[in-house]
Amino acid sequence: MSRPPLSPGARATLAAQAQMPGPPFEQMSAPEARASFDTGWPALQLPPDPALAEGPVPLLLADRPALCWRGAGAPATGARALLYLHGGGWVVGSPASHAAICQRLAAACGAVVICPDYRLAPEHPFPAAAEDAIACLAALPQVAAELGLAPDRIIVAGDSAGGNLAAVAALAAARDPALPQPRAQLLFYPNTDAGQTHLSYRRFAEGFGLTARTMRWFRDHYARPEDHADWRLSPLRADPAGTAPAFVALAGADILHDEGRAYAEALAAAGTPVETRLWEGHLHGFLSHCRHDPAALEALAAAAQWLDRQGV
């Protein structure tokens, strides 16, 4: 089965990951995996850069603790409101682990980026994380005045499982006019189908960072088999008509590549404006690999440029 050659950044990331101690997540309990993840991510991420954004500012959003960054270019009033859902397979991760991404996205977009600490599995199984994402979207108007947000400039965004949650929030808004209506969604290598049957699961099952076994462990900690067809877990199985325009960033050497592309195609077929960008030869999670992979900053800049073209 043919595979694309890996980029230098991807190879450097794999070399760094190989030096990290500990077994794969599927050989750990969820608390052990969180501890391992929290120990390891600083070796892959760039540290926060105080020259790029103000913050973070503690914020309570929809009864969930959150961190907030105001990009240096964000106006005092009427700023873009970017709700960012962090990745981590619904089991690991936090606003702190994704602070460098959120900070640089705030700077690139001239936005106020809010990253909530949504509930994690298995202590809080499906649909807890999806419910939190939708609740945080619903709560944005409550903090709009305090943070100088424009209610008509809301963007939902996320990576991996966070991309799943961002897509779910956008779908929920399309179904419920009482919710704040996002103007755009930024989906970075999103998880869109709990079935895990796409070809990329076999092409990149081992040796490319996130493995098929680990992804199965994440999914099974979050959801039961009878949940797999629920659109709040598998957005690809939803009718996406009426959802916000989307920027979809894909990694070429990623088990989630095919379902991410399929979701972008489904959005386009339903009449949603979509821009799909492929980072060939890059790994799943490359936004979190910015210490080793320049594609991370390229993807954030591309998303910001797309928002400008959309006039959001």
Decide if 228 is catalytic.
no
- Mean pLDDT, rounded, for 183-199: 98
Among the options 98, 257, 284, 292, which is catalytic?
Answer: 284
What's the pLDDT at 52? 74
CB atoms within 10 A of CB 182: 28
* Cβ neighbours, 10 Å, residue 63: 10
Average pLDDT over residues 66-84: 94
Identify the band that residue 84 occupies on the pLDDT scale cut at 50, 70 and 90: very high
Would you state the pLDDT for residue 32?
A: 97
Report the C-alpha gap between 183 and 2 in whole angstroms. Answer: 38
Q: Please indicate whether residue 254 is annotated as part of the active site.
A: yes
Q: Categorise residue 103: left if φ over 0, alpha if ψ from -120 to 50, beta otherwise.
A: alpha
Q: Please report, for residues 34, 95, 140, 297, the alpha-carbon distance to residue 103 in angstroms, rounded to integers and kept in the order given.
A: 22, 11, 19, 11
Q: Please pick, among 159, 193, 254, 293, the residue that the annotation labels catalytic.
A: 254
Encode 199-235: b = buried (16+ Cβ within 10 Å), e = exposed.
ebbebbeeebbbbbebbebbbebbbeeebbebbbbbb
Q: Is the pLDDT of residue 221 over 80?
A: yes
Catalytic residue among 7, 36, 94, 160: 160
- Report the Cα 77 to chain-centroid distance in Å: 26
Going by pLDDT thresholds of 50, 70 and 90, the confidence category of residue 129 is: very high
Active site residue 159: no
pLDDT band at 2 (very low <50, low <70, confident <90, very high): low
What string of DSSP letters covers 204-238? TSSSSSS-HHHHHHHHHHH--GGGTT-TTT-GGGS
